[in-house]
Structure 1
């Protein structure tokens, strides 16, 4: 068993990375930054200037903003100023009202908001907000993490300044525990159950989001379409179909702008959904005990956190690749597999999904999540049959941690030009 002090560090890491969020985390993080700047100003801003990294722009252009029926950054920024509360973190807009939405529309129509690309920055997650009113200004900057404020100032006087120590593009902080897949497995399998029980909140929130989605028209209705396939006998009524339906349905609701909280992972609600629901559905439909469910969810979520430590918060690699890899490990455990089978599942995932690009947050993300979790189930099944992609094939290596590093190196460094090209295409559509 991992010693208690080290277990506490890992649990603290999970609690920090697995948190509730309402709406897509990129525009919501922008709204959070606006709320903090407005609070620092001390009055309602007359003008708001947002300077954002390319990845923030890309992930906020096409996604619904909860409770508004609107898409994109302008309304998120307006509402951050009008009703946002920074102490709510990624639930910053949960006090939203229809009246506030109408006021936000007027705010946009009055041309009070300016949005531009922040040039010449290495950080992929960067949000800089400047607000003005009554001859005063305030500035807030988030970088490195969706809730990580590194600079706050009023009228040019710094109230917080962590810019010199701001994190790089990678996701791991200096004080984070050092993880390997073996260490993730050992922790999930041996930590006292009472220390892990909090992870069941991921099941409650994300399953509720999926079930709410089945009742409405959200996004492309991928989850409801999957249910229709079952009813029309085009796809069987079995656990695999249910995994696809529940996972994509929760994403439908989130990307469609539903005012429904989900449990995120490493700053992404879709990652939290894909790390949770395949495990939950498999556990429930195969009679798993509460202990097995808790350990499987812990394994899934901590695997995602581990991979994101070297990949970074935002990249050109779709987050479903990482999140589905976590759920594949969780499913292996529920199938009765051990560490070797989990490592094989990771290699199968890397061999299959590496290179799936992120072209922003949007309703069609539900289709990508469905692709990711379908591969997760297949990878787990293959691993349990002792079938694994070998070290002579592609980027897979014998050492599973090196294999993970190859995945994250491609996503973090190799796909940078892809990232720039995707943003150029998105911003120059005719």
Structure 2
């Protein structure tokens, strides 16, 4: 499986870093556990949240012993807010360490979510619970960005019961944050060795987490004239070119929280999911502009290297929708996918796009605020009677009005013929960011 995980934080001063080196790599027992342990085998509470702090997966121990939900998580992801589940849990509410439990999660949440976002995403909290959450939010320090796995200690026994100290661990991935709750007296060595193997852990988590309906934006980018370029280049150079393009684009995809989708040959597919600290639609748009600029650099390098007249372009299609989002698992890979027409429309728009242009649907662009849209220059190109080209600003057109439907090359575009779209020309910078 491709490595898709990025750390987004580290823990406060009472939290310990966990590293795979120097732990128990030489211990035969630990190595056997490492090979066979999976998230489904954990005998303590474990749960995965997304970056909106919604619980995407929880094992039976977490459901029963922490969230008090033996019948499982709510069907809708919007009803699975972590803080709502904790504060509504008959078990967590009675725990002597409830404030510390909340503070541990808030130190991680504070970097990505404002206090207002927490309240908006937990509308079912009563006034007392909201006040507690707000007070704790103000007291904690946000976790700074650093690659690390962390732990803390909390007493999860009820106030009138013998103490039950547990260690909390938070492991950070691009796809979400994985929490585990382990009894303090538990043998930790093999467990921590397994937890340090990020590739194994995230593969397990992606395999077991439930699919859910979510809003998302889709970016599809295709290399123009790829069949001709493939025919012109020696095979090893063509593979080198494609890998160079993918490598060049990775920093921008990480910057805007893109989630890797299936690569179809030389094409690229990425999903942008809702984030607490940014607009996922704007993320997709800004990412496409930065990818286009980066592609110009790749083009210059290869033109200089090959001394050829071919211009390399990535053609972009952008669309948004609400789809089922989940993963498919193969023998050696796990693939993110969204079910529905959103991906098909974005793909067809990238087929329609030419010479490195960025095309977006009217529906997607209209979801931006007036302020966000004011920074984007968009419209339709039109050929005038004298043969010159003019840009009609702030204009949309149906695809059928811009193609010859009788041309066989356009047959694959007929299924989006009634789709209203526009071309993105440029994007400005907000005065606050300048």
Q: Using structure 2 for the length normalisation, give the TM-score.
A: 0.29
Q: Using structure 1 for the length normalisation, give the TM-score.
A: 0.30
**Structure with the bigger percentage of strand:** 2
Asked which structure has the greater RCO (Cα within 8 Å, sep 6+), the reply is: 1
* Bigger radius of gyration: 2
